[in-house]
Chains A and B, each alone.
Chain A
Amino acid sequence: MSAIKTEAAPYLDAFRANASEPAWLVDHRRAALTAFGERGFPSRREEAWRFTNLRPLTAHAFAPIPSPSIGEGRNAERQRGISGGGDAGGAITPTRSQPSAARALPHQGGGKLGAEIDLGVPTYRLVFLNGILQSGPTDLPKGAWLASTARTIAERPDLAKQALDPSDLAGGQPFASLNAALFADGFVLALEPGATLDRPVEIIHIAEAVSAASIHSRNAILLSAGAKATVIETYSGKGAYWTNAVTEVAVGAGAALVHIQLQDEDRRAIHLAMARAKLAKGASYRNFGLTLGANLSRRDVQIALGEGASCAVNGAYLLRGEQDTTNAIFIDHAAPGATTRELFKGVLDERAHGAFLGTIAVRQDAQKTDAQQTSRTLLLSDRAAIDTKPELDILADDVKCSHGAAVGDLDKDMLFYLRARGIGADEARRLLIEAFVLDAIETVEDMRIREHLSSRVRRWLGSFETHASRAPQDEGRA
């Protein structure tokens, strides 16, 4: 390898080929690692990364946990544990390369892992601790595959291969390349033609780390023609870790996927999540992201639309302190008659920063494209900031495309109206903020999930102090 970027070196050093893995995977990992090494971290001179300050990420080397070099014996044990479904204790035994992370495991002997953050309704639930599956469902309906990526590699390589993507090797998306090289586990959901899941799939990621550690998970959601599923991913944890997740999505002809990403990571953590979706003819993909946590986070959603396909990419983010988030949405209208709807609502307080990059590319033969993009942001403090960059790149001539962006503070007339009815200033502000993000949350059709997301927003608002009640000396608080 020539011209390895210095910041990439620790990650290259961390890589160990695992002899127990199939050759196709090892080859892919090596090539992806090479791509990452030559590319290095993105720089702010690149348009797509202009508004994302990666310093928290480049300031430390985040050792991957669990290390991919766990050794053949342990790897075998891990796979057995996962296929067992309920008990995978062997998977989290510490190794020399990740002592600190392993020491921090909190839930051994405790209550049910993830119980505090789950949906609270029957789901097909997979719980991951530091990127490794702890428990999964045992009662899957016919026509459905839902298992850890590690187990899928061993038992269904045909599906596992679809969790990898040629773009991993191109270097255009360096974090996806690094993820391909270093991922330890993840989930794969695959539905056969026409299969429908009667409950949502719930993926819970819990991270626990006492030192800079990175968790790379690789996932795939593969719906065959006419299949239907709802997947909700929840990310939370404790520590200054780095989550680097990649989910490959394929929605077959006439199939429908609802994909919710709830990011409530530790406020010291870094969270990068990439979803790459390919939609076949008439397919539907509805993605929603709620961003509450992490110090630095970025959500990339990249969608290629087939003929007559429809996608909705919506989201809400509520941040304070020095939190920073980017939503980077790229929609490729590659075929005619496809529909895109994007609605983002941001609430930024204190010194929080947000960025919305929304690119919609309409290719020459993508006639009758119908695309709408809206981004609205509330800035609750003079020092909060948002960068918005809508980009419509239209080559077809018979299309309907629109975008709108608005930035503002809470409406003074609304506040006065509420206060004139006896509602206190703080309560009035909370009510208006909740109302502001509501229409984005209402794009989620499942009532239980919507209520779950709303309750997380209310929890955020509950620890919210308005400027009127905030003492000046509190300004410096992170």
Chain B
Amino acid sequence: MSLLNIDNLHASVEGGREILKGISLEVKAGEVHAIMGPNGSGKSTLAGVLAGREGYTVSQGSVTYDGRDLLAMSPEDRARAGIFLAFQYPVEIPGVNNMYFLRMALNALHRARGEPELDAGQFLKTVRAKLKFLEIEDDLLQRAVNVGFSGGEKKRNEIFQMAMLEPRLAILDETDSGLDIDALRLVANGINRLRAPDRAAIMITHYQRLLDYVEPDFVHVLSEGRIVRSGDKSLAAELEKYGYAAFGDAA
């Protein structure tokens, strides 16, 4: 059964031009999909529409998540239903402690599922376990959310949040962009460790390089708001060789 079903999705920037021009995509539990495309092809718009970011108008089509009409849900309800967007540009929030924020988020998810909230001690235990699981440092946790973090630290923080919140569907929006090779490995390692039969991920990326570390089940090429090719991981290699231009012409 499909976890996410995007059917003929058309979306535009509010009051502006159409960016997504009929996207259809099915994602099943356990699958990792890569969506690749050049700048301006609509990658981030797709991520924004799926996560519920303001400023987009859907004019046609539907998105069904776990049998529900995703587009009718608020961003927080989507998150509580298990959708996680790893931001391309994680937002700095001065004055909000990272740990406090994470506990608030985790407990919001627990409440939504009717599970008991974690107290400070239980939360700390979970944090320690996840740090160990991802083999990462705890140096970011006592700081304000993303404030003064380097690009790599911000992405690492996103992956850590993902590990804490255990989403059913992770949407990674250019999580690899701007990372040096060490940071890329760390992030890829996080994604790989979170792969599970009951979870799915959509990796949105410009470059094929992330796919050297995280092996996708499917690769889709996005061009001018449409998926113009779909295939297995070999498609990524083809892209690398011939460039996006070849696929754009095919559209």
A residues at B contact (CB < 8 Å)? 411-414, 416-425, 427-428, 431-432, 434-436, 438-439
Is A413 a contact partner of B105 (Cβ separation < 8 A)?
Answer: no
Separation of A12 and B161 alpha carbons in the complex (Å): 67
Q: Which residues of B contact A (CB under 8 A)?
A: 51-54, 74-76, 78-80, 84-85, 87, 90-91, 93-96, 101, 104-105, 108-109, 112, 145, 161, 165
Give the CA-CA distance A206 to B6 in the complex, in Å. 62
Q: Contacting A421 at CB < 8 Å: which of B53, B79, B94?
A: B79
Minimum C-beta distance from B97 to chain A (A): 9
Contacts of B165 in A (CB 8 A): 421-422
Query: A420 to B95, Cβ gap below 8 A?
Result: no
Chain B residues with CB under 8 Å of A412's CB are 54
User: Does B96 lie within 8 Å of A432, measured CB to CB?
Assistant: yes
Question: In the complex, what residues of A have CB within 8 A of residue B112's CB?
Answer: 422
| Chain A residues with CB under 8 A of B105 | 418, 421-423
**B126 CB to closest chain A CB, in angstroms?**
15
CA distance A296 to B79 in the complex (A): 43
Q: Do the beta carbons of A422 and B108 come within 8 Å of each other?
A: yes
Give the docked Cα–Cα distance between A412 and B145 (Å): 16
Q: Which residues of chain B have C-beta atoms less than 8 A from A427's C-beta?
A: 104, 108
**A424 contact from B78, B108, B145, Cβ within 8 A:** B108
Which of A416, A420, A434: most chain B Cβ within 10 A?
A: A420
Q: What distance in Å separates the Cβ of B168 from its nearest Cβ neighbour in chain A?
A: 13
A418 CA to B91 CA, complexed, in Å: 9
Closest to B171 in A: A420
Contact B93 A423 (CB under 8 A): no
8 nearest CB pairs, A to B:
A435-B95, A422-B79, A421-B105, A419-B75, A417-B91, A438-B95, A422-B108, A419-B76
Contact for B96 among A422, A424, A431, CB less than 8 A: A431
Q: What is the CA–CA distance of A428 and B95 in the complex, to the nearest angstrom?
A: 13
Minimum distance in angstroms from B103 CB to a CB of chain A: 11
Complex: A428 Cα to B93 Cα, angstroms = 11
> How near does chain B come to A414, taking the closest CB pair, in angstroms?
5
Q: Would A423 and B108 be within 8 Å (CB), given that A417-B87, A418-B101 are in contact?
A: yes
Residues of B within 8 A of A421 (CB): 79, 101, 105, 108, 161, 165
Most buried by B among A422, A425, A439: A422
Q: Which residues does chain A contribute within 8 Å of B109, judged by CB atoms?
A: 422
The smallest C-beta distance from A61 to any residue of chain B, in angstroms, reads 44
Contact yes or no, B76 A423, CB < 8 A: yes
Assembled-state Cα–Cα distance A205/B84 (Å): 50
Minimum CB–CB distance from A407 to chain B (whole Å) comes to 17
Closest Cβ–Cβ distance, residue B81 to chain A (whole Å): 9
Provide the residues of chain A in CB contact with B95, threshold 8 Å: 434-436, 438-439
